[in-house]
Every structure is written in structure tokens, then in C-alpha cells.
Amino acid sequence: MLPILIRGVIVYVIIIIGVRLMGKRQIGELQPSELVITFLLSDIASMPLQNSNTPLIQSVAAVFLLIALEVMTSCLSLKFRPFRTLIQGHPVMIIKNGQLQQKSMKKIRYSVDDIIESLRLKDVFDIGEVDYAYVETNGALSILLKENRENDSALPCLVISDGKVIEREFDLCELTEKKLYGILEEKGVELKNVLLMTYSKGGKMSLVLKKGSD
């Protein structure tokens, strides 16, 4: 009995350390790769407790291997946007001006019932009240209500992320690459020094520079 208790304490400490190393996130905020790692960790951690003949060192080594893979994946995702998109995907608009975007819904296999339920959880009971809704990469639904917008310019589009131009929503915010570079030139800012930039078709923008590039 005592060896099992000792194993349990060791495994518990190892898992706590592993979770701390991977960073702080709530369960609902986990990306697919992080969720897979979480399930695998719980599976591996239970092996030495279920079978006393299983060497503890094997489970500990497997836990740290998974942690290393997750940390490496996170670092690559931060540095290379295509890799991040491959692993995490990107947000998908499923409601625009109160209208369901059926093509997008089919693409991510999101049913009308899924949308209605997600809206109700946000105290919204009429799709017509929603101006825009996105399914985020973690599966959560983000919405912007019509009553919260004075005009179309209230919807900001992500146009630069970590020094990379994001053309996906240019049409939505009435922006072109030429206009974007014109704005950067006017501000005296180089693209590589921009951490985040949002822009709305009313001309409202938000610009955040990388530290040390001021």
C-alpha cells in the first residue's frame, strides 16, 4: 500500500510541474494540441498507479517528453504563423449582419442548434440581433451585437499579427495592402516592428509595437 501512495504523490507532483510548465489556461481555452496533451498526461500518469509492476521512471520520462513537445509546439506557433494556423486553425465567421454563413457552418461542421445554444449561453435569443459572430480556435463563440455598434466601423479586423499581414478580412474592413502600407509609412513604422494592428472600415485603428521597437 505504501509504495502505491508514494507513487501517487510523485506522479501528482510531476503532473503539477508539467501543467505549470505548459502555462496557465482554463479547460475551455485549451487549443486542440493542448487538450490532446492533457488527456495523454492523465492516461500516462495513471499507469504506474494501476500497475505496480510498471516502472515509475518510464511514466515520468513519458510525461516530460510530452511536456517538451508541447512547449516546442507553442514556441514554433509563436514564431511561425503558418505553423500556428496548421495546428490551431483560425477563427471562422458564422454570422454576418444577422445572417447565418451556411458555407462556413458546413466547413467547421457547426449546426444551427450549436449556434442557438451558444447564443443562449450569452443571453442572446434572436440571431437577428447579432451583427457578427466568430467561432474561435478553441471552439468558443464570440459575438458582436448590433445594439453595441454605432456604425460599421465598430468591428475591428485583425490586419497585422506579429509582423505578418493578415489579408483574410481586408474586404470586411475595406482595406487594401497598399492602403495598409501607406498607413504604416505615415506612422513611421516598419511592418516587422508591429506586434498587433486592428482596423475598421470607419478608419479607426489600434497599433501595438513590439517592445524595443519604439
pLDDT tens digits, one per residue of 54-105: 777 777 777 777 778 777 877 887 787 777 777 777 788 988 888 888 888 8
Handedness of CA 105, 111, 113, 114 (dihedral sign): negative
pLDDT at 140 over 90: no
Between CA 22 and CA 87 the distance in angstroms is 16
Do 210 and 164 form a contact (C-beta atoms < 8 A)?
A: no
Between CA 164 and CA 74 the distance in angstroms is 18
Say what the pLDDT of residue 151 is.
47
* The 3-state secondary structure of 37-56, one letter per residue: HHHHHHHHHHHHHHCCCCCH
Say what the pLDDT of residue 80 is.
79
pLDDT classification of 7: cutoffs 50, 70, 90: low
Say what the pLDDT of residue 150 is.
47
pLDDT classification of 125: cutoffs 50, 70, 90: confident
Would you call 136 helix, strand, or coil by DSSP? coil
pLDDT tens digits, 105-116: 888 888 877 888
Write the single-letter amino acid at 137.
T
pLDDT at 46 over 70: yes
Between CA 131 and CA 111 the distance in angstroms is 19
- Kindly provide the b/e burial profile for residues 21-49, where b requires at least 16 CB atoms within 10 angstroms of the residue's own CB: ebeeeeeeebbeebeebbebbeebbeebb
Strand boundaries in the chain, DSSP class E: 92-96, 99-100, 130-135, 141-145, 157-161, 164-165, 194-199, 205-209
Report the Cα 35 to chain-centroid distance in Å: 12
pLDDT classification of 129: cutoffs 50, 70, 90: confident
pLDDT classification of 149: cutoffs 50, 70, 90: very low
Between CA 74 and CA 132 the distance in angstroms is 29
Average pLDDT over residues 27-55: 69
Between CA 148 and CA 144 the distance in angstroms is 7
Say what the pLDDT of residue 26 is.
47
pLDDT at 181 over 90: yes
pLDDT at 184 over 80: yes
Say what the pLDDT of residue 28 is.
52
Between CA 33 and CA 79 the distance in angstroms is 17
Name the CA radius of gyration of the chain, rounded: 22
Percent of the chain exceeding pLDDT 70 equals: 76
Which residues does 177 contact at the CB level (< 8 Å), separation at least 6? 165, 167, 170
Q: What is the mean pLDDT of the chain?
A: 77
pLDDT at 176 over 80: yes
Do 194 and 151 form a contact (C-beta atoms < 8 A)?
A: no
Q: What is the pTM of this model?
A: 0.51
